[in-house]
Amino acid sequence: MTKLLDLDKLETTTEYAITLKGVKHQMKAISVGDYINLNKLQDGFEGASIVEQVETALKMIMIAFPSVTEEIGRELNFDLMSAIVNFIMTDSASSDESEAKPAKEGEASGN
């Protein structure tokens, strides 16, 4: 008998979100490609100019929170940007809150 892991019935979710100017931005479940890109971006911080670091931080935010556009990101002050990047790289990345859960019948995961 063949064992089958039906990945179409698994839903990957994350419970992380940020609220910015009254709008909730849900963190997406990070794909393998996103994880690699985020870590490459983080590795590029050392030795980069301050402008490159800020641009990198903005890219990291837009990967993790797709509803945060570049325009929204450029309106952030440095404290908010730093808090969001820290949230992405430490709090959410080190947690096991992102789990695969069975999807409800007929429901698409959106990821």
Between 41 and 11, the higher pLDDT residue: 41
- The token duo for 68 is 């945060």
Euclidean distance between CA atoms 56 and 41, whole angstroms: 6
User: 78 pLDDT band (50/70/90 cuts)?
Assistant: very high
- The token duo for 105 is 């019948």
Euclidean distance between CA atoms 27 and 62, whole angstroms: 10
The SS3 assignment for 20 reads strand
Residue 31 has pLDDT above 60, yes or no: yes
Euclidean distance between CA atoms 20 and 105, whole angstroms: 33
Asked which of 27-31, 61-65, 91-95 is least confident by mean pLDDT, the reply is 91-95
pLDDT digits (tens, 9 = 90+) for 79-107: 999 999 999 878 665 544 444 444 444 44
Asked which of 39-43, 47-51, 81-85 is least confident by mean pLDDT, the reply is 39-43
The SS3 assignment for 10 reads strand
Model pLDDT, residue 100? 44
Phi and psi at residue 11, in whole multiples of 5°? -120, 125
Q: What angle do CA 8, 66, 38 make, to 5 degrees?
A: 85
pTM of the model: 0.73
For residues 92 and 16, the answer to whether their CB atoms sit within 8 Å is: yes
Residue 21 has pLDDT above 50, yes or no: yes
Between 38 and 13, the higher pLDDT residue: 38
